[in-house]
Amino acid sequence: MKKIFFFNIFLFLLLTACSDRKDKAILNCADDYYVKYANLNPHLFVSFDFTHVIEELGRREIILKSETLEEKKRRQEIISESKKKDKQKYFVGRDEYYDLINKYLIIALNNLETKELNIIENKNLYKSSKDYKLKELRYYSKFYQLCFDKFNSFKNDSEKEKFLKVFENFRIEDSKEFDISKIKVQKKERNLKLINLLKKYSEIELFINKFKQQNEFL
């Protein structure tokens, strides 16, 4: 009885290990296809929809025009103080007048960065869970299915083992094949259009500089 018991445990562990290898390889395969697809189709991942940004710019313009001289002076003092302390933090603002004017515009601008784009650019695809990628990332499920079907289409164990050896420890983010050059070109183009849009509005230099700096790093 003991021999049967230990044999069953051994068999269970063996099957679990095999299943883990398979799942890991299929996910890595899907990641590979996903990044390549994104770079070939950057227009699907880089948003040019400025609808909410334009709405918030209009709202912000109304507030700026209704601002009293005292409020304007206080806000400018806060920006100046924050610049001296931290060149990045002043962009967010820590005053009720400043926050009232810029808070929702900042949210609208941040929402231009899709979660798909963020996860690819920050090389966090590998770290993300299977459930998250399948449920939250657009287009990902079709590449997971493609890799799943590919593995299961192999007729013999040697073909499956070859697939496992290629993908079980493969990370597209760490490989020489990681290429998001077309995404960067598309994002630069988007930022330039955004900068031209922002130039039409008042007291907008902080935001324009943000996207200019972003383009320098792309």
Stretch 206-210: mean pLDDT:
89
Q: What does the pLDDT look like over 67-118, one tens digit per residue?
A: 888 888 887 787 677 666 655 544 444 444 446 688 889 889 989 999 999 9
Which of 130, 132, 119 lies closest to 183, judged by CA? Answer: 119
Q: Which residues of 103-126 are buried (b: 16+ CB within 10 A; e: fewer)?
A: eebbebbeebeeebbebbbeeebe
Tokens of 190: 């988007």
Tokens of 59: 């709202």
This prediction has a pTM of: 0.79
Q: What pLDDT is recorded for position 171?
A: 92
Q: What does the pLDDT look like over 14-56, one tens digit per residue?
A: 334 457 899 999 999 999 999 999 999 999 999 999 999 999 9
Helices within the chain (DSSP H only): 2-40, 51-66, 69-85, 96-110, 115-121, 130-136, 140-153, 157-167, 181-198, 205-217
**How many percent of the chain have pLDDT more than 70?**
82
Residue 186, exposed/middle/buried by CB under 10 A (0-12, 13-18, 19+)?
buried
Question: Length of the chain in residues, anyone?
Answer: 218
CA distances from 189 to 42, 48, 184 (A): 11, 9, 9
Contact criterion met (CB below 8 Å) for 213 and 191: no
- Residue spans of the domains in the chain: they are 23-47+115-218, 51-111
Q: Per-residue pLDDT for 64 more than 60?
A: yes
Q: What pLDDT is recorded for position 203?
A: 87
Q: What does the pLDDT look like over 111-163, one tens digit per residue?
A: 999 999 999 999 999 999 999 999 999 999 999 999 999 999 998 999 999 99
Q: What pLDDT is recorded for position 84?
A: 65
Q: What pLDDT is recorded for position 28?
A: 95
